[in-house]
Amino acid sequence: MARKPPTRRQVMAVGAAGGALLAAGALTLERAPDVVPGRILGADAAHGHRLRGGGFPPVTAERTTGVAIIGGGIAGLAAARHLTQRGFTDFTLFELESEAGGNAVSGRNDVSAYPWGAHYVPLATEESTEVRRLFEELGIITGYDAAGLPIYDEFMISAAPQERLFLHGRWQDGLVPLLGGSGAERAEFARFHERMEDFGARRGADGRRAFAIPVDASSADAHFRALDRETMKDWMNREGFTADRLHRHVDYCCRDDYGTSHEATSAWAGIHYFAARSGRAANAGPDAVVTWPEGNGWLVQRLARDCETRIETGMLAFRIEEGPRGVAIDILDTIKGTSFRVRARAAVLAVPRFIASRLLPRLDADGFTYAPWAVANITLGRVPEGRGQALAWDNVVFGSRLLGYVVATHQDLRMIAGRTVLTYYWPLSHLPPAEARQEALSRDIAGWQAIFLEELLRIHPELEGTVERVDVRVFGHAMIRPVPGFIWGEARRRALLSRPPVFAAHSDLGGMSIFEEAYVSGLGAARKALDYLAGMREG
């Protein structure tokens, strides 16, 4: 071949130039990305971290109350509600944040109410008698059918379609990755779910379920509890579950419920995710959950309803001293910047264990580790679409480190919701918790927005230009991590033993960060406190 004719490279170059021209043409269609408004909200890290360093202003005033409740998450609110219902109104709840709610806190804008954290509760299990009673009182359960199955308020049951998964550029129904999977993979998924169903049906020699909600209603049989000594990943591999897709799916589930990857989660906890939701409804499928636009913020408002006047916010308890006649609690009023002392006959310590141990040195938090989370609420000018399955309540991207988004307007009965709010979740499990927290605290709002929007706009190019606002909330210690040995280990067992006049209450005492654990724990602490006070009066 002569030298003169154009070489292949030249031809390609012309083609590339044409392609580049086209690309340039396509680029002119997109406007430069605007700066999206938004800010970082979040657990009051600056104040919280003062607990480590100390140096609080001197106590200048003193107050008294019958029972002091420290912490206004679900556990603290459950305790406050119980005291109120029992006619005991001489109590005060002190909350550090500007509003009560803890992980179930929610927000609201002109489009919708939306969750900042916990956003649903599964159907109440047989063992969840307290939660079931609460559901009845709040009208979530409206009655029972002839077979004794609870009838739920149909507008609170998560509306169809519940879940979809983004895989191979398409949305599929449900979260189990099936699209494009091999026959062997499907068979392994089937075998896995069979095992989980089997675990769900198993009961121990003590007649209790192998895996129950609340956790402490589970069977004490050693062969079940032995599962708590290895990681979910190891258990899967040992049982011959090796398909990559299955591992990714289970890892997603562990990060979803525990903020912890499946290689760090105990197998007992990992299996619990699949096997413990035994609640049933007369008018919904077994996988149904109850939810509201604002997520569990709906429950927060109802728990707080009759005791709102006794909730004080912006209050950081920093020291507790126990005495023969009760407790003295030193509290920083973060708004005024002054400290005061509260004398109470008893205290409900409804804070995570690592905080409790700082307030009351006789308590230790060894073995209690917490997963940090970041949550973004994204206000959009239009609802997301996508090929395949229609927009669901929970929308997950397969293989992503983010957990996907929940649509706040999904329960809306209206035909068309023009604008909407998406709540995007990200458990920061890619690093050890302490490092992840450090990384999270150093990231600015633009950095967070870039992370969430990169994924959102990649899977939803149609949303380009419709993002109105992205706020982010960082929960430095969002969830107790059920690492191997924690749930059935010594540390948790010791922590469950309360000694008057201080009664601990928190979901971390149950070993997992779920509504039921927090609620039952708060209720239990309030009961013990009342019993103790009654005993004091008699004595």
Partner 1 sequence: MAPLLLASVFVIATCGLVYELIAGTLASYLLGDSVTQFSTIIGCYLFAMGVGSWASRYVTRNLIAFFVRVEILVGLVGGASAAVLFLMFEHVGSFRVLLYAVVGLVGMLVGVEIPILLRILKDELEFKDLVSRVFTFDYIGALFASILFPLVLVPYLGLVRSSFLFGTLNVLVAGWVLIMVRRHVPALRLHMGAVLASLALLIGGFIGAERITALAETSSYAGTVIFAESSPYQRIVLTRRNEDLRLHLNGNLQFSSLDEYRYHEALVHPLLASLAAPRRVLVIGGGDGLAIREILKYPAVESITLVDLDPAMTRLFSTNPMLVSLNGGAFASPRVTVVNADAFLWLRDRTERQAPRFDAIVIDLPDPSNFSIGKLYSLSFYRLLDSILAEGGGFVVQSTSPLVARKSFWCVNNTIGAAGFVTSPYHAYVPSFGDWGYVLATRGSYRPPVEYPEGLRFLTIAGTAEMFRFPPDMARVETGIQRLDDQVLIHYFDDEWSSYLVY
Kindly list the residues in this chain that would bind partner 1 in the complex (CB under 8 A).
2, 4-6, 10-11, 14-15, 18, 21-22, 25-26, 28, 154-155, 157-162, 283-285, 288, 390-391, 413-416, 418
Instruction: Give me the least distance between CB of 284 and partner 1, in Å please.
Output: 5
**Phi, psi (rounded to 5 degrees) for 8:** -60, -35
179 or 365: CB nearest partner 1: 179
Smallest gap from Cβ 336 to partner 1, in A, equals 44
Sheet of 370-380: strand order equals 40-42, 467-480, 370-380, 420-427, 404-407, 394-397, 163-167, 170-173
Please, which residue, 145 or 531, has the CB nearer to partner 1? 145
In 149-231, which ranges are continuous DSSP H helix? 183-201, 222-225
For partner 1, which is the closer residue by CB, 21 or 434?
A: 21
Give the residue with the Cβ less far from partner 1, 13 or 46. 13
* Shortest CB 488 distance to partner 1, Å: 35
* Smallest gap from residue 293 Cβ to partner 1 (A): 14
Query: 362 or 414: whose CB is closer to partner 1?
Result: 414
Q: Give me the least distance between CB of 49 and partner 1, in Å please.
A: 43
Torsion of CA 471, 44, 507, 408, to 10 degrees: -20
CB of 270 to partner 1, least distance (A): 27
Of 12 and 61, the one with the shorter C-beta distance to partner 1 is 12
Are 392 and 163 in contact by the 8 Å Cβ rule? The answer is: yes
Strands 338-349 and 40-42: unpaired
The span from the CA of 278 to the CA of 123, in Å, is 8
Q: Using the minimum distance from each CB to partner 1, give the nearer residue, 26 or 147.
A: 26
Burial 395-428 (b: 16+ CB within 10 A, else e): bbbbeeebbbbbbbbbbeeeeebebbbbbbbbbb
Q: How far is the CB of 273 from partner 1 (least distance, A)?
A: 21
Hey, what are 93's tokens? Answer: 């709840």
Q: Residues 429, 261: contact at Cβ < 8 Å?
A: yes
> How many Å apart are CA 89 and CA 60, to the nearest integer?
26
In terms of CB distance, is 10 or 89 closer to partner 1?
10
Q: How far is the CB of 112 from partner 1 (least distance, A)?
A: 14
CB 226 within 8 A of CB 192: no
Residue closest to 214 by CA, chosen among 270, 277, 268, 152:
277
Alpha-carbon distance of 210 to 202, in angstroms, equals: 6
Strand partners, 311: 93
- The distance from CA 531 to its chain's CA centroid, rounded to whole angstroms, is 32
